Amino acid sequence: MPVQRDTSPAPTGHPLLARLQHYVRFTGEERLALEALSAGPALTVRQRRDLVREGDRPRGVILILDGWAFRYKTLEDGRRQIIAFLLPGDLCDAHGYIHRHLDHSIGAVTQVRYIEVPRERIEALAVLGPRLAQALWWDASVTASIQREWTINLGQRDAIERLAHLFCELVYRLRATGLAAGDRCDIPLTQTDLAEATGMTPVHVNRMVQDLRARGLIRWKGHDFEMLDLAGLCSVAMFNPGYLHLDHEGRLLDAAG
């Protein structure tokens, strides 16, 4: 597997901590413990290569430090379905190490830097108090909530709604970790990526992108993406960000009590 060791420091900002703080407010000791998850040598995989493959034995919990990845399944005839996009700060299944073998693959959209956090380090977080353990459960719950929304996307929304909804979701998720400046962000996806995530063909995706542009809802050139009319895009998508649980629903777990 084309993975290289990387001893450069992890990116500043700690997107994992930024995201989990939407659910729980931590003490200083708890924040340091979460930041320590990204300490140590990182791994680097080139774009369009796999971090792990279906059938591999889990070696730990993957924490994305930098770059974009995606979770996917492949049929025997080679057809692929992208079932999740993974962004900086994402733990790729915090409790997945309990399985003997992976039931999916994770590929890199861009070059990706990541840490394989040993299960012992994840389990040790609970020793520091219930907030850290429950924050990880909140994270797992939100991952499941996103998966449910993707199921609705594929089963009930039409093509333009699917694509608009995915764009809204990505921007909201990037905002949550400080990776979007207002309504602008970097989206390094190809039309094939979007097609495999939304159940369309690349040609159909291209038509839907042009439709959203013609309506004055988005601007997308290269990787530079901007929502020109957030309310309008959300209306087209019937997008309600509640399923992302970014409104601090875990306030009862605040360090301040």
Answer whether 33's CB lies under 8 Å from 52's CB.
no
Is residue 127 one of the residues assigned to a domain? yes
Alpha-carbon torsion (119, 71, 238, 178), positive or negative? positive
Q: Is residue 9 part of a domain?
A: no
Give the domain extent around 69.
15-256
Q: Is residue 193 part of a domain?
A: yes
Q: Are 84 and 71 in contact (CB under 8 A)?
A: yes
- d(Cα 188, Cα 194) in Å, to the nearest integer? 11
In a domain, residue 176? The reply is yes
| Strand-pair partners of 3 | 45
Residue at 27 is within a domain = yes
Number of domains forming the structure of the chain? 1
Give a yes or no: residue 3 inside a domain.
Answer: no
Please indicate, yes or no, if residue 2 is contained in any of the structural domains. no
Say if strands 61-66 and 50-52 run parallel, antiparallel, or are unpaired: unpaired
CA separation for the pair 159, 163 (Å, rounded) = 6
Q: Distance between the two ends of the chain, CA-based, in angstroms?
A: 46
Q: Is 8 contained in some domain?
A: no
CATH value at residue 156:
2.60.120.10
Does the global pTM surpass 0.85? Answer: yes
- Tens place of pLDDT for every residue, the chain, 257 residues? 444 443 333 334 588 888 888 888 888 888 888 888 877 789 999 999 999 999 998 888 999 999 999 999 999 999 999 999 999 999 987 666 667 788 999 999 999 999 998 888 888 887 777 888 888 888 889 999 999 999 999 999 999 999 999 999 999 999 988 899 888 999 999 999 999 999 999 999 999 999 999 999 999 999 999 999 999 999 999 999 999 988 765 555 565 44
